[in-house]
Amino acid sequence: MAEYIMALDAGTTSNRCMLFDRKGRVCAFAQKEFKQIYPRPGWVEHDPDEIWYSMVYVAREAMNSIGAVHSDIAAIGITNQRETAVVWDKISGKPVYNAIVWQCRRTSDYCNELKASGFSERIRLKTGLVVDAYFSGTKIRWILENVPGAMEKAEKGELLFGTVETWIIWKLTAGRVHVTDYSNASRTMMFNINTLEWDQDILRLLNIPASMLPEVMPSSCIYGMTDREVLGGPIAVSGAAGDQQASLFGQKCFNPGDIKNTYGTGCFMLMNTGKRPVFSDKGIVTTIAWGQGGEIDYALEGSVFSAGSVIQWLRDELKLIESAKDSEFLAGKVNDTNGCYVVPAFTGLGAPYWDQYARGTIVGITRGVNKYHIIRAALEAIAYQTNDVADAMKEASGFELRSIRVDGGASRNNLLMQMQADISSLTLYRGSNAETTALGAAFLAGLAVGFWSDKDDIINSVDMDQQSFIPALSEEKRSAGIREWHRAVQRSLEWAE
Ligand code: ADP
């Protein structure tokens, strides 16, 4: 009887492998970084072959570390950096160009043209997304237009496209299986999330031949078996989801209204909205959470650009703290911010403001404001921004929020978590297992092969050992703080010229 599920986490800077047991415990772990390629300012690429080799390396390393062989592993689930585009030759298996990474801005001008030509609304209602260079569609178009001979080969059906999980599944199965899952398809800006098909209109607009595209499958089903050469014998590959959706699943946000927020460099908040897509005109995007158990679950997704990065700024630029962790202790030296607000609009503001010309500001400074107040205000800014996103989601979905499940590096900060509970008047649950993304991929893979029989079995078997943060601020103080925060945000808008 196979004891483990293998999760392969194809991240932006490293690949990781974890072996989980039925209780969701990490029994083996391996990680390997890979090269970031910056050919020009604002351009980011990865070498797809390096992604593949380092993934095989971590998979073997994790297995070897506990002496596991292929028959000990019930299934493999993959979670991945989303939107990153790989195009390769169907016969030789060689990429025709480096992977163009989600962060890469090379197609921004083309996206602006699409917007100026009035395509935004049509694309939003079909794909749930705002037109942006992040998403895969315009990256594929760039490769076809700029790599000599690529378009010709694509038209003859000789090239394949995939996001990173598609590439890895294709390699794991020695080129036998060319698939993606609904969650990843929904980040390409080519997939119609209403009809669940590649959108022929958009493909024509971007000039992308449909023959390149992978078959779109559920996030939890057997795609194929690994080639014997890769891990010593066949293992079922049976789960795939983009990183944020996998983390939503790993946080067991199985029901409509369930929300998770990941506090990393930025914040990613996703809300399960159930079996129908909910659209928002506040810049909260609509996406597919997963296809599982014969059904599709949708999600709303909102992000805060600068969250943990505010703490890095306090450390690296202002030198007010020595480590990110210190922010908790130092902010705790004062009981409030003494009327001071930090608006960390370093790169503009996202949902619900969407002002790329906003810039950071500190307001409300009086003679008594000291560094502890500023550190505290920086932490509060993370919580206020998150609260704005949560409010926009609440409005779009019509759901009453009860609680948020949290993860990510900055969620280790207890003071920040208590601020969030107070400002949002919601209970926060933080699990002891930090690996929610990989866990989500493992759950999806495990469900497909009966390792867990259903979602209830997961809920009962996997104990998340949660710590909770309960709101303790009076409604009067809470709404006064939010009002002041919004006044501070107004001061930061439309600053850059
Ligand atoms: P990412 O995946 O985006 O790299 P992580 O989840 O690893 O991010 O979290 C790292 C971020 O969290 C950094 O920006 C760091 O400043 C912030 N961070 C880490 N620990 C703390 C802490 N104790 N308090 C506040 N911020 C923290």
What integer pLDDT is reported at residue 287 of this predicted model? 95
The Cα–Cα gap between 250 and 437 comes to: 6
What integer pLDDT is reported at residue 435 of this predicted model? 83
* Integer angstrom CA distances of residue 279 from 187, 244, 394, 465: 15, 18, 12, 34
Q: Is the CB of 410 under 6 A from ligand 1?
A: yes
Nearest atom in ligand 1 to 308's CA: 14
Q: What is the Å distance from ligand 1's center to 50 Cα?
A: 27
Is pLDDT of 355 > 90?
Answer: no
Q: What is the pLDDT of residues 385-417, one digit of tens each?
A: 999 999 999 998 999 888 999 998 899 999 999
Q: What is the Å distance from ligand 1's center to 311 Cα?
A: 8
Is pLDDT of 497 > 80?
Answer: no
> What is this structure's pTM?
0.91
What integer pLDDT is reported at residue 412 of this predicted model? 93
Q: What is the Å distance from ligand 1's center to 411 Cα?
A: 8
Residue with CA at minimum distance from ligand 1 atom 23: 325
- Whether the Cβ atoms of residue 275 and residue 112 lie closer than 8 Å to each other: no
Sheet of strand 467-469: strand arrangement: 285-292, 295-304, 267-274, 259-263, 403-407, 427-430, 467-469
The Cα–Cα gap between 56 and 237 comes to: 14
Residue 439 tokens, joined: 């866990």
- What is the mean predicted confidence (pLDDT) over 235-248? 96
Residue with CA at minimum distance from ligand 1 atom 14: 308
Q: Is the CB of 239 under 6 A from ligand 1?
A: no
Q: What is the pLDDT of residues 113-128, one digit of tens each?
A: 999 999 999 999 999 9
Q: What is the Å distance from ligand 1's center to 278 Cα?
A: 30
- Whether the Cβ atoms of residue 288 and residue 193 lie closer than 8 Å to each other: yes
What integer pLDDT is reported at residue 104 of this predicted model? 87
Q: Is the CB of 344 under 6 A from ligand 1?
A: no
The Cα–Cα gap between 212 and 24 comes to: 37
Is pLDDT of 274 > 90?
Answer: yes
At residue 301, φ and ψ (nearest 5 deg) are: -135, 130
Q: What is the Å distance from ligand 1's center to 415 Cα?
A: 14
Q: What is the Å distance from ligand 1's center to 102 Cα?
A: 20
Q: Which of 224, 227, 206 is nearest to 215 (CA)?
A: 224
More confident residue, 130 or 481: 481
What integer pLDDT is reported at residue 165 of this predicted model? 97
Strands 285-292 and 259-263: unpaired
- Whether the Cβ atoms of residue 187 and residue 117 lie closer than 8 Å to each other: no
Q: Is the CB of 381 under 6 A from ligand 1?
A: no
Q: What is the Å distance from ligand 1's center to 408 Cα?
A: 7
Is pLDDT of 462 > 80?
Answer: yes
Residue with CA at minimum distance from ligand 1 atom 1: 264
Average pLDDT across the chain, whole number: 94
Q: Which residue of 79, 103, 311 sits with most ligand 1 atoms within 8 Å of its CB, as the best mutation to test the pocket?
A: 311
Q: Which of 109, 100, 105, 179 is nearest to 147 (CA)?
A: 100
Is pLDDT of 341 > 90?
Answer: yes
- What is the mean predicted confidence (pLDDT) over 30-59? 94
What integer pLDDT is reported at residue 103 of this predicted model? 86
Confidence of residue 433 (pLDDT cuts 50, 70, 90): confident
What integer pLDDT is reported at residue 160 of this predicted model? 97
Q: Is the CB of 12 under 6 A from ligand 1?
A: no
The Cα–Cα gap between 388 and 490 comes to: 14
Strands 403-407 and 427-430: parallel
Q: What is the Å distance from ligand 1's center to 315 Cα?
A: 12
- Whether the Cβ atoms of residue 296 and residue 182 lie closer than 8 Å to each other: yes
What integer pLDDT is reported at residue 157 of this predicted model? 96
Q: How buried is 145 (Cβ within 10 angstroms: 0-12 exposed, 13-18 middle, 19+ buried)?
A: exposed
The Cα–Cα gap between 371 and 45 comes to: 39
Nearest atom in ligand 1 to 311's CA: 16
Residue with CA at minimum distance from ligand 1 atom 2: 264
